[in-house]
Amino acid sequence: MDARLTPVMQQHAAAKRQYPDAIIFFRLGDFYEMFGDDAVLAAPLLDLTLTSRNKGKPDEVPMAGVPHHSAHGYVARLLEAGHRVALCEQMADPTKVKGIVPRQVVRVITPGLVTDGEQLDSRSNNWLAALEIGGATVGVALLDLSTAELRAAGFSDLSAVLGELSRAGPREVLTGFATEETASSLTRTEALTALGAALPLAAVRADSDLDPAQTSSELGELAPDTEHLDPAERAAVRRALRFARACNPGSPLPVRRIVRWDPASFLAIDTTAQAHLELCSSLMGGPASTLLKVIDATRTSAGSRLLKRRLLAPLVEVARIRRRLDLVELFVVHSRLRSQLFSALSGVGDLERVSVRAALGEATARDLGLLRDGLEAAGRTVQLLEQIEDPNLRETLGLGSLPELSGDRQPVITVDTAEELRRELDLALVERPPAQPKDGAIFKRGFDHELDELDSLRRAGTEHMIALEARYRNETGIPTLKVRYTRVFGWYLEVSRSQAARAPAGWRRKQTVAGGERYTNPELDELAERIETAEQRHRERELELLATLVSRAASQSEPVCALSARLARWDVAAALADVAHRFDYCRPEVDNSSVLEIRDGRHPVVERQIAQGRFVPNDVHLDIEAERLWLVTGPNMAGKSTLLRQVALTAILAQMGSFVPARSAHIGLVDRVLSRVGASDNLAQGQSTFMVEMSETAQILHCATRRSLVILDEIGRGTSTFDGLAIAWAVAEYLDEAIGCRALFATHYHELTALSEQSQHVANYSVSAQELGDDVVFLHRLVPGAASRSYGVAVAKLAGLPEPVLARSRALLAQLENQSDSPAVKHTRPSREHPQQLSLFAPPAATPPAHAHVIDLLRALDIDNLTPMEALQLVARLKREL
Ligand code: ADP
């Protein structure tokens, strides 16, 4: 203890010692104050003025404060900046203790442990990830305190972990190491850097080492659940729990079980594919044009969280997928039931999170009101479905059985327990209880006799005051005399300045204000005291009743969460059915076959962005055993990327258990979706585009299996023509011969189409365009065979290249095409033995060297990325060269 500090600052120092990583919000009356380094750090982030405490004294410290009732906005901003905030509260009523009020940290809020509804995105989970790196397995635990969910899994290496974490999108990552070196022999710093780079939105921190001796005490009642976990997974779980407990010293954690998830039971969508396919966020940023956005018609928060999770982690088990599809189909067929369900569900709100806040002891009266309303809507929903008699429908809906609860430690969930709680809440609470007790009544009259009496007392007191005012006016003859109350001054008598002389001698002057004089007298003081006491006791009784009700709600939090999970499944199925109905999706046939056949398939997002009915549907038929690799050619803007992406999105939708935008679809299970798109599409990142492109391609070739779906859009574009073509060629060959997976390969290298002559598994398709004079019309229709030409000049015209440049380009093109008809540069089918026969590699013997150079320049030209000025300069240069 530092004797130079005042007792209050000693309390602060103790809190800081206990939570050195957190900014301490130290409660002093109506404010949270920050001191020392915390104040210096936070003041600029929160636009606060930095002042100081004990100014001029030896223990002067910087200080900044925020009003306690508006604290959560400030807390949110500090979390946003990646900080942790410890709330150090007054543990007793300052008016009742002699000397210094005891203070204690009751809660540390960190980005990964937010439970406040206003700070959470209701449509996403808020994960804290804890990692244990070092052994043969990397253990991962994901904890969402706001929904009381805890999941664990093990991975063979850090890169697999990164892929998994990027789908979960944790807000905070705690990284611990079992040994000095990590499994992939990265140092601790390297591992942390890799995590930070892969998860730009998360606060990534190194956590202290775990003490192996403490295992069971830290796991508490969850210990039995961890028996089937790998040691690294158990360590990760311990790390998450230890952290959450340390941050919530005042309340037990509401987590009741650990769900182990096996990464192999989900369709892997690599990080790049998640981004390129714009599943949950678009490349331009924001959720505007994402797949999630177009399929999320859910009515409850838990439903929309579940939908998002399913979209990012579709299944790879036929039976489970079919069960989900059955439920969607049920709601497609029974459209009346669907709309009834929707209207019942729309009152459910966020039952899950409200109930977990109760379990954490953090629920406000307002939360309890929401819980009551949510339970009522939930009851209506269950009743609606319970009326159904058809046993098949009941089975599909999961009624009667409780598949979500397994294991003997789970209590039996009945709607009755929830109904009982709803009735209790309903008896107690007013229609709209306030978040803060000071903002109005919480309890109905008649609910608690004592509370009603205290209320009558304080009301009687106030009426007494009004009577007193009338009497004093009479007695003094001051008609403007007023009895008033303010929070700071309490009750007083106010007399205007001109009348002040008439105030009785026995009155004590309390304060002089602009409008007049303020007085008190013994009679007023005594009455004020009686009112204050009644107020105080009323407040206490209200808080007492509230605490009882919160703990009642807490005791039911587990069944309520189970009920919410059940509703969420119905919600998701009905939402997908609604989308299927409105946008004409079909039920996909999913099995273990080798095909991927889509008839009249559409891109679910693009079709909504263009005029209705304008999207041109296309057929795709890939088969591992037959044509598995399609080379797709066609001019820029014809719709190649759209086609590629729509195939991947259709497979993802089907395997998450959704209907798909097509006339029919047959999906033989896919185990991974891997993709990479053209270099020019992520130029913004400012990295060497070719390097990025190649490392993404490398990743794909390493991860793909025979069951994967690979989508490659314009690879090799980031380098010179020869290199690019050579690499694209080799990659396509490798995909076909070494991996043998289903793949779509869009390319502008027409030479590549010769691959189909080399392999029976490769086929050429093109997205057609039609020439009308010098113009081009995109038909967006996929047809067999390679594109005959690239329409580059026509596209250049569309883009606004000046007419003289276009004319000159046409002339040059004609010339070049004539030359390439000469035998020496004729396209020849390359073979493995004679790769030098590939046209581009052929020596330009028949062409004069200057011409050859001009041809090379033109071939290497990326018209898409050419400004009109550059085009003109190029034409000038070409002319010079000739
Ligand atoms: P590419 O990859 O061939 O350059 P894109 O796939 O980017 O072409 O498509 C260009 C534009 O054409 C898209 O933004 C979309 O508006 C439109 N488009 C693509 N496919 C279709 C289609 N099947 N039906 C209607 N419009 C389409």
Question: Is residue 681 scored above 60 in pLDDT?
Answer: no
> If we measure between CA atoms, which residue out of 363, 372, 277 comes closest to residue 651?
277
Q: What is the percentage of the chain residues whose pLDDT exceeds 70?
A: 88
Q: What's the gap in Å between 777 CA and the centre of ligand 1?
A: 12
* Whether pLDDT at 850 is above 80: no
- Residue with CA nearest ligand 1 atom 17: 639
In the reported structure, the alpha carbon of residue 605 is separated from the centroid of ligand 1 by a whole-number distance in angstroms of 12
- The pLDDT of residue 875 is 75
CA of 638 to the centre of ligand 1 (A): 5
- The whole-number pLDDT of residue 185 equals 60
pLDDT tens-digit map of 119-175: 899 999 999 999 998 778 899 999 999 999 999 999 988 888 888 888 889 999 999
User: Does 82 have pLDDT greater than 50?
Assistant: yes
pLDDT of 448 > 90? The answer is: yes
Reported as type and span, the H/E element at residue 878 is: helix 868-881
The two structure tokens encoding residue 143: 């904890």
Q: Give the number of other Cβ atoms within 10 Å of residue 704's Cβ.
A: 23
Residue closest to 182 by CA, chosen among 227, 232, 143: 232
Transcribe 31-71 into DSSP letters: EEEEEHHHHHHHHHHTT---EEESTTSTT-EEEEEEEGGGH
pLDDT tens digits, one per residue of 520-570 = 999 989 988 888 888 889 989 999 999 999 999 999 999 999 999 999 999
Grade residue 880 by pLDDT with cuts at 50, 70 and 90: confident
pLDDT confidence of 682, banded at 50, 70, 90?
Answer: very low
Cα distances from 771 to residues 615, 780, 815, in angstroms, run: 20, 13, 19
The helix (H) or strand (E) run that includes residue 190 is helix 188-198
Of 133, 169, 176, 182, nearest to 154 (Cα)?
133
DSSP H helices, 485-630, are: 522-555, 557-583, 606-609
Dump pLDDT digits (tens) for 6-47.
Answer: 888 999 999 999 999 899 999 998 899 999 999 999 999 999
* Chain centroid to CA 738: 37
Pocket test for ligand 1, best of 282, 598, 637, 768 (most atoms within 8 A of CB): 637
- Nearest-atom number in ligand 1 for the CA of 767 is 3
pLDDT band at 699 (very low <50, low <70, confident <90, very high): confident
- Calpha distance 553→429 (Å, rounded): 13
Q: What is the pLDDT of residue 810?
A: 79
pLDDT band at 405 (very low <50, low <70, confident <90, very high): very low
Q: Which atom of ligand 1 is nearest to the CA of 614?
A: 25
The more confident residue out of 511 and 340 is 340
- What is the pLDDT averaged over residues 346-358? 94
Task: Please compute the mean of the pLDDT values over residues 492-512 and round it to a whole number.
Answer: 86
The whole-chain average pLDDT of the chain stands at: 85
Task: Mark residue 235 as left, alpha or beta (left: phi above 0; alpha: psi -120 to 50; beta: remaining).
Answer: alpha
What count of other Cβ atoms lies within 10 Å of the Cβ of residue 44?
A: 10
**Poorest-confidence range of 365-379, 586-600, 794-808?**
794-808
Nearest-CA residue for ligand 1 atom 13 is 639
pLDDT reported for residue 160: 84
> Per-residue pLDDT for 55 more than 90?
no
pLDDT of residue 204: 86
Distance between CA 271 and CA 253 in Å, rounded?
32
Query: Which residue type occupies 850?
Result: A
Q: What is the pLDDT of residues 436-446, one digit of tens each?
A: 887 888 999 99
pLDDT for the residue numbered 679: 46
Q: If residue 397 lies in a helix (H) or strand (E), which one and from where to where?
A: helix 391-397
Ligand 1 near 780 CB (within 6 A):
yes
* pLDDT given for residue 577 in this prediction: 98
Mean pLDDT of the 103-127 span: 91
CA of 753 to the centre of ligand 1 (A): 21
Greater confidence, 272 or 67?
A: 67
Q: Which atom of ligand 1 is nearest to the CA of 617?
A: 23
Greater confidence, 565 or 859? Answer: 565
Question: Residues 425, 439: contact at Cβ < 8 Å?
Answer: no
Judge whether 153 and 164 are in contact, CB under 8 Å: yes
Of 729 and 320, more confident: 320
- What 3-state DSSP class applies to 591? strand
Residue carrying structure tokens 């598994």: 761
Residue 1, pLDDT score:
54
Q: Which residue has the higher pLDDT, 242 or 879?
A: 242
The Cα–Cα gap between 551 and 868 comes to 71
* Enclosing H/E stretch for 325: helix 318-333
The count of C-alpha atoms lying within 13 angstroms of the C-alpha of 597, restricted to the half-sphere facing its C-beta, is: 11
Would you say the CB of residue 226 lies under 6 angstroms from ligand 1?
A: no
pLDDT, average across residues 367-375 = 95
Q: How far is the CA of 555 from the centre of ligand 1 (A)?
A: 55
Query: Of 260-269, 275-284, 559-568, 667-676, which range is least confident?
Result: 275-284
Ligand 1 neighbour 748 (Cβ under 6 A): no
Specify the pLDDT at position 669: 97
C-beta of residue 89 within 8 angstroms of C-beta of residue 102: no
Q: What average pLDDT score do residues 615-628 get?
A: 96
Residue 838 pLDDT > 80: no
- Going by pLDDT thresholds of 50, 70 and 90, the confidence category of residue 414 is low
Of all protein residues, whose CA lies closest to atom 20 belonging to ligand 1? 639
- Split at pLDDT 50, 70, 90, the class of 843 is very low
Pocket test for ligand 1, best of 606, 643, 714, 783 (most atoms within 8 A of CB): 606
Given a cut of 50, is residue 836 above it in pLDDT? no
* Ordered strands of the 664-668 beta sheet: 589-591, 664-668, 595-601, 618-623
Q: Is the CB of 678 under 6 A from ligand 1?
A: no
The CA angle 156-157-161, to the nearest 5 degrees, is: 100
For 780-818, write each residue's pLDDT tens digit.
888 888 876 666 777 777 777 878 888 888 788 777 777
Name residue 245's amino acid. Answer: R
pLDDT at site 215: 59
Q: What is the pLDDT of residues 196-225, one digit of tens each?
A: 888 877 888 887 766 665 656 677 778 788
Judge if the beta carbon of residue 639 lies within 6 A of ligand 1. yes
Query: Which pLDDT score, from 0 to 100, does residue 692 have?
Result: 76
Confidence category of residue 635, pLDDT binned at 50, 70, 90: confident
